[in-house]
Amino acid sequence: MIESLRESLHLYFKFIGIAIRSRLEYRSDFLVGTVGIIILNAVNLSLTWVMVSRFHVLAGWQFWEIVMLYGMWLLSHSIYAVFFWHLSTLEDDILHGRFDQYLVRPCSVLLQFLGREVNYMGVGDVFFATAAFSLAYRNLGLDWAAGQWIFFVVAVLSGTVIETCIAWIIGSLSFWIGRSRSVFWLSMRLKMLNQNYPIDVFGQGFRIFVTGFLPIAFMNYYPLTQLLGKPNALGIAALGFLSPVVAGILLALGSLVWRKGLAGYTSSGS
């Protein structure tokens, strides 16, 4: 078990190595993409700033708290964006029969798929997220203890797992419905709302939806209310600690859907 895990990781890094070299073949694309994504984020956040500077406080959240919400989401998202973004293009691999190639090699199909690509756009996200988070941390005059930093890191990683698994599950739907891009874009739009605003500004229905159905509020909102000592919109304090649990549940669900889908693929051949 440990041995095979070690082997898988070794192979994964080899795959990623090739993926990085493939990307660097197109250097200017890499640079434009990275700079572009930083500008995109800056514009996005400044829109929030315009709004908050009007009202000073948005549903009990100050401007720098919102920046931190945004930064925390983007940190999780950036890891997802660099390594797992192509889960959203799973449908292409399925429809074009690229899985045939994966299936005739003595190595996990998932590993081959995940190792196929890295996405430079996420690199810009990493820079921007780090900057936004640091600025917010300074401006809010925070001074976290080691325990809080550990909580923060676990929450960010859980956020990555949550976003990755959502994309994984939606992507795997393509095994049945052929294309799932529309479902994917829908979830993207919802995620963006969650990235820019604390869910307090939305109605109860939306809050419940992003907690229980598409649990993206666990990527940034709930752990951050815990870290900042704020009450959360649903008034259930325990939610602040649940991000790793939600990540675990989604991981199990994702692997179930994936296995079912792959088994279906080998019986239908898409």
Partner 1 sequence: MIIQVRELSKHFKVPVRKEGRFAAVRNLFSFERTSKVAVDGITFAIEKGEMVGYVGPNGAGKSTTIKMLTGILVPTSGEVEVDGLIPHRDRKRLAYRIGVVFGQKTQLWWDVPVIESLRLLKEIYKIPMSTYETNLELFNDMLDLHEFQDTPVRQLSLGQRMRSDLVAVLLHSPDILFLDEPTIGVDVVAKDRFRSFLQQLNEERQVTVLLTTHDLSDIEKVCERMMIIDEGRIIYDGAIADMKERIMPYRVLVVDFADNVPHIEIDQAELIERKNRRIRLRFDRRQISASALITELVARYPVRDISIEEPEIETIVREIYEHSAVVERLED
Q: Where does this chain bind partner 1 (CB under 8 A)?
A: 10-11, 14-15, 18, 21-23, 25-26, 96-101, 103-107, 266-269
CB 129 within 8 A of CB 27: no
Tokens linked to 266: 């080998």
CA geometry: angle at 23 spanning 20 and 24, to 5°? 90
Tokens linked to 121: 């756009």
Smallest distance, partner 1 to C-beta of residue 140, A: 44
Tokens linked to 204: 């109860």
CA geometry: angle at 252 spanning 73 and 213, to 5°? 55
CB 218 within 8 A of CB 133: no
For partner 1, the closer of residues 7 and 237 by Cβ is 7
Smallest distance, partner 1 to C-beta of residue 101, A: 6
Smallest distance, partner 1 to C-beta of residue 75, A: 29
For partner 1, the closer of residues 21 and 138 by Cβ is 21
Instruction: Kindly write down the DSSP assignment for every residue of 100-116, as one continuous string.
Output: HHHHTSSS-HHHHHHTT
Smallest distance, partner 1 to C-beta of residue 9, A: 12
Smallest distance, partner 1 to C-beta of residue 125, A: 23
For partner 1, the closer of residues 61 and 99 by Cβ is 99
For partner 1, the closer of residues 96 and 138 by Cβ is 96
For partner 1, the closer of residues 39 and 177 by Cβ is 177
CA distance 112 to 101: 10
Q: Which residue has the tokens 């509020």?
A: 217
